[in-house]
């Protein structure tokens, strides 16, 4: 029997973040050891309030939640608030004054990140918001990154352009300097960027939302109202389908086969004000140059090796979403698949 992978989720507490957390909590292969929050969709403290409600609904009051950074690591573009996508409360205006029965821990997010990675071997980190907390951890202890088993970042775009800006994806554009610090840190293995290239390809359709509305599971009951709100403007670039960005990022840890193509390529982040501010630059030339005998090409400064998700298995993505929403047929098929792999 395989041992559950310890995971820290760093989040800005939005609608798709909540769906991603429900996935992690429901999968026996993942042990969520802590959740840290950062300002993005809402403030870091409001994000913590949202996460505490998810954990209460899931019956997981044992998982610590630490409030992280509201202040950016460096200059950042002025971005439009995402309340029209996620609601004023970050949960599609579904919170309705509800308050979780417990408070966040007193430890700050970056201190918790530092401590848990030092204390527990094999901790992975998935970032679902701006990378401010991870950057603070790296600046405090530069060797911290090498102790992380695997980093997955929902953010960036290799070839699909941006959403918050013409070239900038929201999580990166909220704090480009933090993203650049994380991009060039000394990770033990190349981190995985789950960007708009795949999150805009993995979408939900009318049938999935019909199933969601039946509220067959605790996750579906919690996510029904937030996801229906989110669908209106969250689908701007993908209509008629609806993405669930952060769910896909966590799914890459739960079911690695969902990524059909994720080559290691040089990655950099633009931290300079101007048209490309907040963008991720992927050097697609590198493998072509490597295949040319006798050709030496100098790698530009500022680039680091990352796994770049370029193709996704949409059917696997939808199956996992539908299993979370209570599709018994999909869930049974998953159990058989898991049994065959243990």
Q: Which residues are catalytic?
A: 12, 245
Report the distance separating Cα 216 and Cα 199, nearest Å: 25
Q: Rounded to whole angstroms, how far apart are CA atoms 235 and 183?
A: 28
Q: What distance separates the 2 farthest-apart alpha carbons in the chain? A: 66
Strands 203-204 and 242-243: antiparallel
Q: Count other Cβ atoms within 10 Å, centred on residue 159.
A: 11
Instruction: Give the DSSP per-residue string, 272-317.
Output: SSSTTTT-EEE-TTHHHHHTSTT---PPPTT-EEEEE--EE-HHHH
CA angle 82, 86, 87 (to 5 degrees): 95
């Amino acid at each position: 029997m395989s041992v559950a992978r310890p995971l820290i989720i760093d989040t800005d507490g939005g609608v798709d973040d909540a769906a991603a957390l429900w996935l992690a909590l429901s999968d026996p292969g993942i042990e969520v050891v802590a959740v840290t929050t950062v300002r993005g969709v809402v403030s870091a403290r409001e994000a913590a309030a949202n996460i505490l409600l998810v954990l209460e609904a899931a019956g997981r009051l044992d998982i610590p939640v630490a409030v992280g950074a509201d202040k950016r690591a460096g200059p950042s573009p002025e971005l439009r608030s995402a309340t029209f996508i996620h609601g004023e409360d970050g949960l599609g205006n579904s919170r309705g004054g509800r308050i979780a029965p417990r408070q966040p821990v007193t430890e700050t997010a970056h201190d918790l990140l530092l401590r848990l990675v030092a204390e527990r071997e094999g901790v992975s980190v998935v970032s679902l918001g701006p990378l401010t907390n991870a950057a603070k951890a790296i600046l405090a202890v530069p060797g911290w990154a090498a102790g992380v088993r695997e980093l997955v970042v929902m953010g960036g775009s290799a070839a699909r352009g941006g959403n918050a800006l013409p070239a900038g994806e929201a999580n990166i554009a909220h704090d480009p300097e933090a993203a650049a610090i994380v991009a060039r840190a000394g990770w033990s293995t190349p981190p995985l960027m789950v960007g708009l290239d795949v999150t805009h390809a993995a979408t939900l359709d009318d049938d999935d939302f019909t199933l969601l509305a039946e509220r067959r599971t605790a996750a579906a009951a919690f996510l029904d109202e937030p996801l229906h709100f989110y669908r209106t403007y969250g689908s701007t670039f993908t209509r008629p389908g609806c993405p669930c960005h952060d769910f896909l990022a966590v799914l890459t840890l739960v079911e690695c086969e969902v990524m059909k193509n994720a080559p290691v390529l040089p990655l950099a982040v633009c931290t300079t004000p101007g048209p490309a501010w907040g963008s991720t630059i992927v050097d697609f030339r590198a493998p072509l140059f490597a295949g040319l005998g006798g050709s030496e090409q100098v790698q530009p400064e500022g680039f680091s090796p990352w796994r770049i998700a370029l193709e996704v298995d949409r059917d696997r993505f939808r199956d996992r979403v539908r299993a979370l929403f209570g599709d018994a047929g999909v869930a049974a098929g998953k159990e058989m698949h898991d049994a065959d792999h243990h």
